[in-house]
Amino acid sequence: MNVARLHAPGDLRIEDAPVPEAGRGELVIRVRTCSTCGTDAKIFRFGHHHISLPRVLGHEVAGEITDVGSEVEGWSLGDRVQVIAAIPCGVCHYCRRGQHTVCEDLESIGYQYDGGFAEFMRVPRKVLAVDGVNRIPEHVPFECASLTEPLACVLNGQELANVGEGDAVVVLGAGPIGCLHVRLARARGATTVMLVDVNQARLDLAARAEPDATIDSTKDDPIDAVRKMTNGRGADVVITATGVGQAQEQALEMTAPRGRISLFGGLPKDDSTIRFDSNLVHYRELSVFGAYGSAPRHNREALSLIAHGKVRVDDLITHRMPLADVNRAIETVMSGDGLKVVIGP
């Protein structure tokens, strides 16, 4: 079978590899769609301290079961499934409290285990042990199911920041994750959703997510614009879906009293310090949340949101490419010219 294996930063090769067999407690799936994301592009360029190379990348995976290992119950050949990316250990201090995203022994598909940029993928025993395989309803296409994992991460962020009925929400960053935030905020009952970016072309592309307003922050001051749209109050929730520190600083200033800020996108590790006016947090009684990945239960709920039409994802897929073109797919992600770029071997 063909796989896309990263040998060194910038060196991603299509190679031949043996089709994996399912060992005890494992599954093997034929990958039908693996979606690409900004993290893949980051790993492609810089490697990652948790990834020992060579490694088959890809962690937003949907496919069908082609091999069932011994001691696996409840799964059969041909079942259509979505697989989690982040694999919690299930036994550490945080896992025991249900806080799987901050597991002390977190592993991931495409990091410690070969991922979905391949014709077939082994689903490790650890994934099944934490209920990390989800059945895709018949009417949901594989490519939509492959967006479950990023939506699960977005759901984790909005749960932590408690996005809900009546909120005015601002999303900074109009990439695919920003679009998912817009859609999910709407599904959770936000009344006004504003999308901010520094690039008008990206805002035009992201308009399909149907925010109430788009703000080009190179033309209009985003803090003024948000105040104008909220009777001077500011936003109840501001989500930064970008790796730019200035956006985090703006987020703090445009948040209304008692508002919540989700620092969803991480910053470059050599440039992760921002100017933080803590008096804004003090006097306005703001809360600042982080968000990192998703738990198995977020994947289950995200797939259900997609299946029930609560969060539409099909129109966020702008590019479909075969596995052989994985390098072009990652270039497309880096260029920002598209939203979701999916690989179908």
* Burial bucket for residue 8 (CB in 10 Å: 0-12, 13-18, 19+): exposed
Where is 32: in which H helix or E strand?
A: strand 27-35
Smaller CB separation from Zn ion, 103 or 109: 103
Give the nearest distance from C-beta 150 to Zn ion in angstroms. Answer: 5
| Interaction between residue 329 and Zn ion (CB under 5 A) | no
Cβ 94 to Zn ion shortest distance, Å: 6
Among 4, 37, 180, 333, binds Zn ion (CB under 5 A): 37
* CB 148, CB 62: distance < 8 Å: yes
Q: Which is nearer to Zn ion, 51 or 281 (CB)?
A: 51
Residue 28 within binding range of Zn ion, rule CB under 5 A: no
Encoding tokens for residue 195? 């999308």
60 token code pair: 């937003």
Closest to Zn ion by CB, 102 vs 213, is 102
Q: Is 53 one of the binding residues for Zn ion (CB under 5 A)?
A: no
Query: Within a 10 A sphere around the Cβ of 46, how many other Cβ atoms?
Result: 12
Are 194 and 220 in contact, with CB atoms under 8 Å apart? no
Site string for Zn ion, 102-131 (x = CB under 5 A): -x----------------------------
Give me 206's structure tokens.
Answer: 């992201």
152 forms part of the interface with Zn ion (CB under 5 A): no
Pattern 247-276, Zn ion, x by CB under 5 A: ------------------------------
Min dist CB 235 to Zn ion, Å, is 26
What is the distance between the alpha carbons of residues 238 and 311, in angstroms, rounded to a whole number? 20
Q: Is 17 in the site for Zn ion (CB under 5 A)?
A: no
14 versus 92: smaller Cβ distance to Zn ion: 92
Alpha carbon distance 118, 17 (integer Å)? 9
Helices (H) and strands (E) in the chain, counts: 12, 18
User: In sequence order, which residues have a C-beta less than 8 Å from that of residue 114 and are 6 or more positions away?
Assistant: 3, 20, 55, 56, 121, 122
Q: How far is the CB of 177 from Zn ion (least distance, A)?
A: 9
For residues 67 to 106, the per-residue mask of contacts with Zn ion, x marking binding by CB under 5 A and - elsewhere, is ---------------------xx--x--x-------x---
Q: How far is the CB of 225 from Zn ion (least distance, A)?
A: 30
Among 22, 31, 33, 39, binds Zn ion (CB under 5 A): 39
Q: How far is the CB of 182 from Zn ion (least distance, A)?
A: 18
Least distance from Zn ion to the Cβ atom of residue 130, Å: 9
Taking the alpha carbons at both ends of the chain, their separation in whole angstroms is 10
**In this structure, what token pair is assigned to residue 249?**
């600083």
Smaller CB separation from Zn ion, 175 or 234: 175
Cβ–Cβ under 8 Å, residues 91 and 32: no
Nearer to Zn ion, 121 or 252 (CB): 121
Say what angle helices 148-160 and 176-187 make with each other, to 10 degrees: 60
Identity at 343, one-letter amino acid code = I
How many residues make contact with Zn ion (CB under 5 A)?
Answer: 7
Chain positions contacting Zn ion, by CB under 5 A: 37, 39, 88-89, 92, 95, 103
